[in-house]
Amino acid sequence: MGNMLKGRVAIVTGSGQGVGRGIAIGMAREGAIVITNNRAPKRNETVAVTESFKPIGVKRTPEFDAEDIKKILALRGDAESTAQEIRMNGGKATPFYGDVSDYETAGQLVQTAIEQYGRIDIVVNNAAGLGFGPFVQTKESDWDYQTVSKLKGAYNLMSHAVPYMIKQGYGRILNCASDAWTGIANLSAYSAANAGIVGLTKSTAKELDRFGITVNAYCPQAASPGHVSFGATLKTMMAENGIKIDPNDKRVEESEKEHGPAENVAPFLVYLCTEHAQYVNGAVFTVTGGGRVSLYSDPKIVKEIKKTDEAWSVSELMEQVPETLLKDYVSIAKDREF
């Protein structure tokens, strides 16, 4: 056991399996007391694509091959199984079942930390619902599934935990985003939810810095049941659209390497929770199970045109926009897989 987070109390939502489980175990190894969380106890050993992932617009249910099923069953767990593993390795952990997208439930989760351990130092907003499919086939229920647990869940936990952190003069909030925050085709709801997480992170980082609280976002890539479901759905959708996967495409192999063990994501997040990372606030990182950590640049204005005497006319804009404002511009709409 390490001691980088000795005595710190951490809540990790969505930590029954996958990335959240890896983070919870990694933080416990460095001495943190962890409140593990997921919606409900693990169900039976059947495998359904909709358990952690909702395909949209796929005509037939994606089929798992034997290797997919083996991976999902090996990766599956719940708050209690994660807590048990932490305790078996000499750490302290308390499981909490409940949907953090419900405001009162999120409050009870924070109160569990306060009542049992007297403080809350770290909140990892990792819970999420993932889906994939065309925007025109995205239903309201799909939208809610992908946005509420992630975006409202993060708000709920922060709303209840931040007052305690302010009193302590210390806090670390890590919000799980995704590289989809930049906008990925066929991931409209998920992209919107993660862009919201980035905006929430940057806004609150500016507000809370003076209280000794940092708020950063991480975009994880690691082994999880959701990743396996995503892969099966993607293969099905591509087949339905007549798109073949080149078995020699190096991107497939590289993607699998990036989705290495979820516990490999934890060390960098532990670092962000230490005193050494007090100066890191409002940043967005990609962290993979394959050992890559990347920092996103902050958005900034790169060009502008301006008139102060009177409003632009349409004819003036037709001349100025292509020649000045959008010179060398390339539409991101051209950047798509299919």
* 131 — pLDDT class (breaks 50, 70, 90): confident
How far apart, in whole angstroms, are the C-alpha atoms of residue 23 and residue 17? Answer: 10
Q: How many CA atoms lie within 13 A of 63 on its CB side?
A: 4
Instruction: Give the Cα separation of 64 and 133 in Å (integer).
Output: 18
Q: What letter represents residue 190's amino acid?
A: Y
Please state, in angstroms and rounded to a whole number, the distance separating the CA atoms of residues 162 and 143.
28
151 vs 125: CA distance, rounded Å: 9
Taking residues 274-278, report their average pLDDT.
Answer: 96
**Distance (Å) of CA 166 to CA 15, 121, 172, 273:** 25, 10, 11, 16
pTM to 2 decimals? 0.85
pLDDT for the residue numbered 77: 86
* pLDDT value of position 64: 54
The secondary structure of 77-137 as a DSSP string is: --HHHHHHHHHHTT--EEEEE--TTSHHHHHHHHHHHHHHHS---EEEE----EEES-GGG
User: How would CATH label the architecture of 9-295?
Assistant: 3-Layer(aba) Sandwich (3.40)
The vertex-318 CA angle with 313 and 324, nearest 5°, equals 105
Mean of pLDDT over the chain: 86
Quick one: pLDDT at residue 50?
Answer: 47
pLDDT (average), residues 14-35: 95
